[in-house]
Amino acid sequence: MNSRSASRDQNHHYSPSHPRKEYYSSEGPTSSLEVSPIRHQRRIHEKEKFHGELKKTKPPTLDGENKRGEDVESWLLGMRRYFQLYQYSPNLEARISIYHLKGKASIWWEELAQVKVINENKITWRQLKKYFQHKYLSGHYYDRKIQEFFELKLGNMTMEKYERFFWELLRYVDYIKNEKSKICRFLSGLSAYYKDKIQYDEPKNIEATIRKAKYLYEQSKGRSFLQRYW
């Protein structure tokens, strides 16, 4: 092989357009076809730890004592999140949910299942959820939440609590989607002191509006004149 051929071969194997991929582990560089044993063991350990934590997670219970829509809504949300962790069948999801009914909620379900001749070995989680929504989360419940949203005011609450209620109630008003409408509603519950200063900055989104409101709230702590500045 002459020197020109050797040069071509060398350029072919080490061309800048085909760089050799190398990955580095704690033991030094490895090729792209190799997997670091330490990294592999770490992934196995993290996976086992994750599954171990999941086993500690228990589904929420519902006793139905207070008959509050918020309690049922919270329970339904908790069950949905629980089922996202496991690959249960729709029927098994329903049966697990039924098992975690306590007190009056359990009695109500037993009576309903007898009257409607519901087969618990066939019912799905989606069907079960509709029964609870019909029982506890009526149209009146959602109308009340919407009303609470539009009547929400800072008053004597902390700004953090006002923000929390704002986000909790906003999800019931799904037709308010653009940032301007959200900002206007948030500001409408604040005193003129906050409203004027925030509007002066012309925030572009609700997150920036809330950050400014929190900043002003912290700066104004202890100023009694704010209670009258409406």
Residue 63 to residue 67: CA distance in whole angstroms = 9
Of the pLDDT bands very low, low, confident and very high (cuts 50, 70, 90), residue 85 is confident
* pLDDT tens, position by position, 17-59: 444 444 444 444 444 445 577 777 777 766 666 555 556 678 8
What are the backbone dihedrals phi and psi of residue 89, each rounded to the nearest 5 degrees, phi first?
Answer: -75, 155
**Looking at the predicted structure, is the pLDDT value of residue 101 above 90?**
yes
Poorest-pLDDT segment among 49-53, 74-78, 194-198: 49-53
Q: What pLDDT shows up at residue 48?
A: 61
DSSP 226: G
Distances (CA, A) of 97 to 82, 117, 122: 10, 18, 14
**Looking at the predicted structure, is the pLDDT value of residue 16 above 90?**
no
What's the mean pLDDT in 160-185? 94
Q: What pLDDT shows up at residue 106?
A: 93
Q: What pLDDT shows up at residue 87?
A: 84
* Burial (CB count <10 Å: 0-12, 13-18, 19+), residue 197: middle
* pLDDT tens, position by position, 105-157: 999 999 999 999 999 999 999 999 999 988 888 888 899 999 999 999 999 99
The angle formed by the CA atoms of residues 145, 151 and 157, to the nearest 5 degrees, is 100
Q: What pLDDT shows up at residue 28?
A: 44
Angle between helices 125-136 and 103-115 (to 10 degrees): 110
Q: What pLDDT shows up at residue 25?
A: 42
What is the pTM (predicted TM-score) of this model?
Answer: 0.61
Domain ranges, ordered by start, for the chain: 19-56, 69-137, 146-228
